[in-house]
Amino acid sequence: MPDRIPNISTLIAVASGKGGVGKTTATVHLALALAAQGKRVGIFDADIYGPNVPLMLGVHRRAKASGMVTVARVGNQPYIPPLERFGLKIMSLGLLVGEEDTLLPDSNQAGRIVIRTLRDVLWGELDYLLLDLPPGSGEPQISLVQQIALDGAVVVTTPQDMSLLDAGRSLGLFRQHHIPIIGIVENMSYAVCPHCGERIEVFAQSERPWLVQQEGLELLGRVPMDIGVSRPLAGPQPAPVFQAIAARVAEKAHSRD
């Protein structure tokens, strides 16, 4: 049976089928929006190959890694203090290595490193912990869904067919392990002309509504292309569109309690 992380009320995975869809951006803004509702929120950056949560939160690290990150427990107690930023508790393997360093573990090591690090963080009491997963449905995702009890998943996609098709593979991983799908966030959905306010469909909208409609999946929100959403944050204010998304995520997560 998968284990629960102590003192975490709700553990939610944020996933995508492919890279470049803004999954980390969505994770950070969703976390900030939940925190703005008065919730205690943390982010665990499980993207071992491209840990971008620190950059998105404006955190730069200069230390150089001396090799593969080694994580070991002190007895049975967690010992890694999370970084606190904008009211969020965050941990990322990107905080344990230099900003320009690369971790290249094999697939078996990836799952072990991510799970051990997750368990070894001193999270304290949290209402929500969001897991920012790597793209795809390989490792460390497989180890996480097998060993860690997840309360739900949010899948981030863009409007194009290819992104939707890849997102379907992530959905399949969660369904196979009986993890509830909270809903879909469509990122880079459209743009708004800064001069006339007209809504512009930048990408051709997919003709595959199955991704949302299949098995009653909910479209939690459409996020516009906006520099205020995509750039590293300088303050704790989430993009306004995520306030409604966070309210719906909290409502659906609470309904499963």
pLDDT of residue 68: 39
Helices (H), 104-240: 107-119, 141-147, 161-176, 210-213, 227-230
Residue 2 lies in a domain: no
Q: Which residues, 6 or more positions from 35, have their beta carbon under 8 angstroms from its beta carbon? A: 41, 86, 87, 88, 236
Backbone angles phi, psi at 89, to 5 degrees: -95, 125
Residue 60 lies in a domain: yes
Residue 3 lies in a domain: no
Residue 30 lies in a domain: yes
Residue 221 lies in a domain: yes
pLDDT of residue 130: 98
pLDDT of residue 237: 86
User: Tell me, what CATH number does 241's domain have?
Assistant: 3.40.50.300
**pLDDT by position in tens, the chain (length 257):** 789 999 999 999 999 877 888 899 999 999 999 999 999 999 999 988 888 898 899 887 655 544 434 445 556 677 888 999 999 999 998 787 666 666 666 777 888 889 999 999 999 999 999 999 988 778 889 999 999 999 999 999 888 766 776 777 778 889 889 999 999 999 888 888 878 888 888 776 666 555 555 656 888 999 988 877 877 787 788 888 999 999 999 999 877 65
Domains of the chain: total: 1
Residue 205 lies in a domain: yes
Spatial distance between the Cα atoms of 46 and 59, rounded to a whole number of angstroms:
17
Report whether 246 contacts 33 (CB < 8 A).
yes
Helix/strand/coil percentages in the chain, nearest 5: 30, 20, 45
Residue 49 belongs to what domain range? 8-255
Nearest to 154 by CA among 177, 138, 170, 134: 170
Residue 1 lies in a domain: no
List own/partner pairs for 61-68 with CB under 8 A and 24 or more apart. 61/94, 61/95, 61/97, 61/98, 61/99, 62/98, 62/99, 63/97, 63/98, 64/97, 64/98, 64/101, 65/96, 65/97, 65/98, 65/101, 65/103, 68/103, 68/105, 68/109
Residue 71 lies in a domain: yes
pLDDT of residue 67: 40
Torsion of CA 181, 182, 188, 192, to 10 degrees: 150
pLDDT of residue 70: 45
Spatial distance between the Cα atoms of 243 and 237, rounded to a whole number of angstroms:
10
pLDDT of residue 180: 93
Spatial distance between the Cα atoms of 197 and 134, rounded to a whole number of angstroms:
35
